[in-house]
Chains A and B, each alone.
Chain A
Amino acid sequence: MPQIAQLSETITSQVFWLLVFFGITFFVIGRGMVPKIMQTVADRESQIGADLTAAKAARDAADQQEEAWRVREAQNRDAAHAIVTEAKGNAAARSQDVLATAQARFDQEVEAAEIQIDHARREALAELETVATEAAQDIVAKIANINVARPEAHRAVQEALARG
């Protein structure tokens, strides 16, 4: 077993070179490089954490804005609805007015026309009485050879018209 057989002649060399190379490894790799590698990992993790936090904040902000937009949208919709309702009301009122005015004017015209018609009828009736009276005088004069006085003939015509 060389480990024991060679112990006395090799132990100093073994210990010396182990301390040399383990020391180099410890100071160069363990103390020099490992902390940098771990720092890189820590930096990456903190960056990932910061990015996640930023993303979460951005999402929250977007949610908030969407909520605000939703509220604003609802308000706008209500406002628009109110405007439409008001315009409808206005239009209905205005058309009502116009219709009422037009109706009034029609009524007026119709009344005037009726008065006129009545007047014309009355005139025509009066004229009819005159014509009928003259015709009755003529007829009586021609048939019976009797001259009837005008008021008398007029009264007879009126009686006949009243009997209808």
Chain B
Amino acid sequence: MAEAKVDPMHQFTIEPLFGSESWALGATGINIAFTNSALWMLITTLVLFAFVMGGMKRELVPGRWQMMVETFTGFIDQMLEANIGKAGRKYVPYVFTLFMFILFANLLGLMPLGVIGVHPFTFTSHFTVTGVLAIMSFTIVLAVGFFKHGLHFFSLFLPHGTPWWMAPVIAPIEFISFMVRPFSLGLRLFVAMMAGHVLLEVLSSFVISGGNAGPLFAVGIGIPSMILMIGICALELLVAGIQAYVFALLTALYINDAENLH
């Protein structure tokens, strides 16, 4: 009987690949080891490239694949137009990249490749990654805001119709809520992905432990856990899409603040 030792956190461990643990960026000594995380970023990039390439036939009457890719670009385009307006058009490349990169990373991390011995790594379950993406979005918001409105951008912290005597209270609150945005943006994705993967891992440990503990436990705990896992897998696929959507949508809303103030 196999020893059931399941560490739900082990799946998030980053390991350098191909003996790259001492790779450094030039003479700066900054470590850039090519890890399993980096490998899955590469795979995400390649899969996403292959997917979008299928939509580049540019036919007048699109096939299924082209239609699918056009649906995604149209989806992002409409989201930006609905939230920002005509000016939202120019952010389509960034928001599309953000949405698709996160979506494909989330989905690829859920692929049941373990059955063929390959363990997918969900790099969106690392706040180092989601944090960088969030800071990127936040930087764009700040750059657009100050470039378009100059110091007038600070009026964002004083909503229209605020009585003057409320300003000393409202402005700090608005400022804090504004500064919290990159953290909430990055943490939301990281927490959602990590929680889902931990939950799946814990449930799978129930299946294995239950199976090992005898027929009664196998039927009483193992099988219900397995059924629950299948359901949670479907839920996680949904969460993968929703979290990518939320990240892109919030980025669009924040850019809207910078683009149009309020």
Q: A interface vs B, CB < 8 Å? A: 1-3, 6-7, 9-22, 24-26, 28-31, 33-38, 40-41, 43-44, 47
| Among candidates A9, A14, A17, A34, residue contacting B92 with C-beta atoms closer than 8 Å | A34
Q: Is the CB of B70 within 8 A of A41?
A: yes
Q: Is the CB of A29 within 8 A of B55?
A: no
> Which residues on A sit within 8 Å (CB–CB) of B59?
40
Q: Binary interface profile of B, 54-96, with partner A (CB < 8 Å = 1, else 0)?
A: 0110111010000001100110010000000000000011101
Q: Is the CB of A29 within 8 A of B49?
A: yes
Q: Is the CB of A34 within 8 A of B132?
A: no
Give chain B's interface secondary structure class. Answer: helix
Q: Chain A interface: which of B34-42, B218-226, B236-244?
A: B34-42
> Which residues on B sit within 8 Å (CB–CB) of A44?
60, 62
Measured in the bound complex, the distance between the Cα atoms of B37 and A52 in whole Å is 51
> Which residues on A sit within 8 Å (CB–CB) of B123?
14, 18
> Which residues on A sit within 8 Å (CB–CB) of B33?
10, 13
Q: Is the CB of B44 within 8 A of A37?
A: no
What is the chain A residue whose CB lies nearest that of B61? A44
> Which residues on B sit within 8 Å (CB–CB) of A3?
12, 125-128, 190, 194
Q: B interface vs A, CB < 8 Å? A: 9-10, 12-14, 16, 25, 30-35, 37-38, 41-42, 44-45, 48-49, 52-53, 55-56, 58-60, 62, 69-70, 73-74, 77, 92-94, 96-97, 100-101, 123, 125-129, 132-133, 136, 190, 194
> Which residues on A sit within 8 Å (CB–CB) of B70?
37, 40-41
> Which residues on B sit within 8 Å (CB–CB) of A13?
14, 16, 31-35, 37-38
Measured in the bound complex, the distance between the Cα atoms of B48 and A37 in whole Å is 14
CB distance from B39 to the nearest CB of A (A): 9
Give chain A's interface secondary structure class. Answer: helix
What is the chain B residue whose CB lies nearest that of A4? B127
Q: Is the CB of B38 within 8 A of A34?
A: no
Measured in the bound complex, the distance between the Cα atoms of B73 and A95 in whole Å is 87
What is the chain A residue whose CB lies nearest that of B29? A12
With A3-B128, A34-B73, A40-B58: A16-B32 Cβ-Cβ less than 8 Å: yes
> Which residues on A sit within 8 Å (CB–CB) of B125?
3
Q: Is the CB of A12 within 8 A of B30?
A: yes
Given contact pairs A7-B128, A14-B128, A33-B56, a sample of 18 additional A-B residue pairs in the complex whose CB atoms are under 8 Å apart: A2-B9, A2-B12, A3-B12, A3-B128, A11-B128, A12-B31, A13-B31, A14-B38, A17-B34, A17-B42, A18-B123, A18-B128, A25-B49, A25-B101, A29-B100, A30-B97, A33-B52, A37-B58
